[in-house]
Amino acid sequence: MIATSLDVSCARALTPGCERVIHFNNAGCGLMPQPVLDTVLEHTRLEAMMGSYEAAAKKVEAVNAVYTSFGKLLNCRADEIALTDGATQSWHRAFHAVPLKQGDRVLTANNEYNSNWLSLRRRCDQVGATLEVVPGDANGLIDIGALRAMLDVRVKLVAITQITNSNGKVNPVEEVGAALKGSNAIYLLDACQAVGQMPVDVQRIGCDLLSGAGRKFLRGPRGTGFMHVRRETLEKLDPMFIDIHSAKWTGLNTFEWKTDAKRFEVMEHNIADRLGMGAAVDHALSWGLDAIQERILGLSTLLRQRLNDVPGVQVRDQGSRPSGINTFTMEGRDLNAVMLKLRADGINTSVTNFDWAWLDLKERGIDSIMRASLSYYNTEEEVERFVEAIARV
């Protein structure tokens, strides 16, 4: 048994889905714990009984508490948090607020998420900025020395992902922050695969902007996301969207932005899901992120060891610092077909195909990769059953 300070039996008892499936797709969507489910359903029923606006008016304090909870989770002020309807929306609202013009330079890593890359590429083309990839080091992580060498006054944005969706490697995000200190660059970090499975401290990282998802390792509802916007960076940004929630109409031709990160929000949103995301944050904090990370890494180490013993299976994880995302290929097998067979047997996993991780997979000559992403409620027995199922295939 893997040593842990967590009460795994309690964690599973609070996760109804554990009775039905072996869920190794937490990098896609984690199984919601009962407190999250109860919170979402309770507010949805309240809306049905009294009206959505009226229900929202009764939950103002509860919604405000979500910002406070995120402040504790990320080690920042509550007014540096904005809530959104998903990780992609969070990242885009942050990215498109960064002023860019012809001649500016944008740097990204060699494992950037496909949707982020497409937006970076398109906007740089539109404004005449250049998009450059910082080389990877021997472990496939962003090379800090190369990053420092590429910095100059024209670098206005450095946008990287903490943990790529196609690999378990964790980029040295604190070292990136140290390298950028004193530069002209705004530091945008996509942490959607990190928040919820490990401690994420924006003060230690030094990022200006951070985006994340509620649905993944944090185990909140789908369609929820969040942003951190460092107060010192706020006035350097120009939000893409504006409405009567994000700004105040002060005259016929004038307006004033909200003075905090809420200027990146819009009026219409799902209160039940945001309360559910807040419940997910509180649930994670109640276990402790250090304990969660310890449990996940222990299970992941066991999984990789067992997979290495299966003929025809090659573990593909890189880097000196692992995470809960474990990737592998299977010789002569269609991984998408394998995924569907596993799902039919009550085992959830996922496949990242070439067009979802072009930079990372092209460099390694991989067409598709199987991803088994673990959470702290998973067990050693589930790991063994998963590996047995892979061996049978």
d(CA 204, CA 328): 32
Determine the pLDDT at residue 259: 96
Indicate the residue type of 356: W
Cα separations (Å) of 176 from 171, 188, 204, 231? Answer: 9, 11, 11, 20
Phi, psi values for residue 376, rounded to 5°: -70, -15
Q: Which residues of 162-200 are buried (b: 16+ CB within 10 A; e: fewer)?
A: bbbbbbbbbbbbebbbebbeeeebbbbbbbbbbbbbbeb
For the chain, how far is it from start to end, CA to CA, in angstroms? Answer: 26
Question: Minimal CA–CA distance to 44: which of 203, 270, 217?
Answer: 270
Determine the pLDDT at residue 356: 66
Determine the pLDDT at residue 235: 95
Angle of CA points 267, 272, 276, to nearest 5°: 120
Determine the pLDDT at residue 248: 95
Topology of domain 8-31+288-392, CATH: Aspartate Aminotransferase, domain 1 (3.90.1150)
Determine the pLDDT at residue 165: 79
Could you tell me the two tokens for 306? Answer: 């067992």
Q: Could you write out the DSSP letters of every residue in 31-61?
A: PPPHHHHHHHHHHHHHHHHH-HHHHHHHTHH
What parts of the chain have a pLDDT lower than 70?
318-319, 354, 356-358, 361
- The reply to whether CATH 3.30.70.360 applies to domain 37-286 is no
Could you tell me the two tokens for 149? Answer: 């060498």
d(CA 14, CA 33): 5
Domain boundaries, the chain: 8-31+288-392, 37-286
